Amino acid sequence: MILQIGGYQKGTDYDFLSIAGSAIIEGIIDISLINGFMPDWGDTFDIMTAELGIQIGSAGLQLQGCDMFTFILSEDGKTLSLQTVPEPASFLFLTLGLLVLRKFNK
């Protein structure tokens, strides 16, 4: 599955799939940011809904192309979303910065 994200408007700025029945999804979701768009940490993009539910297949689900996302399946199992998370290096630098500030404030 190829997914392009270029803004916040579902179906207009980013790809979205609505299924009337149920879905089993597995394999790779290849994500591309387009039109110079850069989401903020914590932004969520609903990429698929299925009225009767979504299941992750036995082969699992992998994201590639953009390592700033993780996938979330809603509690009712009917919505698959992508959420932005800090890159590991960014999180490390933030943590180190906070530790340095704490030391200097003592």
Domain region containing 63:
2-104
Half-sphere exposure of 13 (CA within 13 A, CB side): 13
Count of domains for the chain:
1
Tell me the whole-structure pTM to 2 decimals: 0.77
pLDDT of residue 96: 62
pLDDT at 86: 72
Where does residue 80 rank: exposed (0-12), middle (13-18), buried (19+ CB within 10 A)?
buried
Which segments of the chain have a pLDDT < 70? 87-106
- Predicted confidence at residue 67, as pLDDT, reads 82
pLDDT at 106: 58
- Give the strand order in the sheet containing 2-5: 2-5, 23-33, 54-64
